[in-house]
Amino acid sequence: MWIREKKPVVGVFGFSGCAGDQLAILHMEDDLVDFFTSADIKFFHMAQSHQEVPEVDIALVEGSINTSKQENELKEIREKAKIVVSLGTCACYGGIQYLGENETEFKERMEYVYGKDGKNPEFLDLVGQPQAAEPISKYIKVDIMIPGCPIAPENFVPIYTKLISGLFPQKYPYPVCVECKYKDNDCFLLKGKYCLGPVTAAGCDAICPSLEVSCVGCFGPYEGSNYPSMIEKLKEIGLTEEEIKRKLRMFGGDVLEKNLDGDN
Ligand code: SF4
Ligand code: SF4
């Protein structure tokens, strides 16, 4: 915690992804003026032309890291920031592009686009050496994660408000199912339909099940998840092992490697 004597300096940085989290900030119609006036926004990738990475109190970092150039820029951001926040599920867990890690044809696709061994000179100068998508925590220490695909303003604004006030926000200690129950929704799993609510971190207010759409886990893994039980339930519903793995990895990154023993 720092004592707030002046407006905190904030930078919003973007790496690989759809830029939806930066866009979500710019679309916060009711809170946008406060966002830009309550802090000294020194860098905003999507909203400004490029400039040098400044010293900041808080760095909000979106996107996964896919090239050596991005890796170096990320490390520079870490050196110049007091607090680093991973913004959105790509930065937190690798995002959808992390799925490529587990596909056999990934190397061939890389070579097709970037040349053999990724040494296509046209791309090297521009983007650096291509590498498999990773969450930013693979390369630097992350202080706070705000997942979401994209982030939900209802989740982002309270966390950001605490941060710029010098307070440290706590993680949600429960999964999407708790928010779903508060909404009094009928449970998909009880109806024999797929839903990843039990293994997904809360914060979205269970928006999908409330609209009769199954949760696909875009807020990233809930830390207290019981994966063996979730997998068993999904098999019971009729999903194959391969389908279950892909669904859990889509927004969960290396969640299976971290949480299950054996060959998952
Ligand atoms: S519908 Fe999905 S999110 Fe809601 S309680 Fe059931 S499993 Fe959880
Ligand atoms: S219900 Fe699930 S898929 Fe929908 S926004 Fe929340 S975490 Fe993402």
pTM given for the model: 0.85
Between the CA of 9 and the centroid of ligand 2 the distance, in Å, is 31
Q: How many angstroms does the Cα of residue 235 sit away from the middle of ligand 2?
A: 21
Characterise 212 by phi-psi region: left (phi > 0), alpha (psi -120 to 50), beta (else). left
Give the distance, in angstroms, between the CA of residue 229 and the centroid of all CA atoms in the same chain: 25
Name every residue whose Cβ is closer than 8 Å to that of residue 242 and which is 6 or more positions away in sequence. Answer: none
pLDDT of 152-200, one tens digit each?
Answer: 988 899 899 999 988 888 888 899 999 999 999 999 999 999 999 999 9
Which residue among 191, 193, 195, 229 has the greatest number of ligand 1 atoms within 8 angstroms of its CB, and so is best to mutate? 195
Position 264 scores a pLDDT of 46
Class for the domain spanning 9-164? alpha beta
Q: Whose CA is nearest to atom 1 of ligand 1?
A: 187
Where exactly are the structural domains of the chain?
9-164, 176-259
| C-beta neighbour count of 54 within 10 angstroms | 15
63-110 confidence digits (pLDDT tens): 999 888 999 999 999 999 999 999 999 999 999 888 776 666 767 777
pLDDT digits (tens, 9 = 90+) for 167-177: 888 888 899 99
Mean pLDDT of 112-119: 68
Q: Is the pLDDT of residue 2 over 60?
A: no
**From the CA of 43, how far away is ligand 2's center (Å)?**
29
Asked whether residue 227 carries a pLDDT value surpassing 70, the answer given is yes
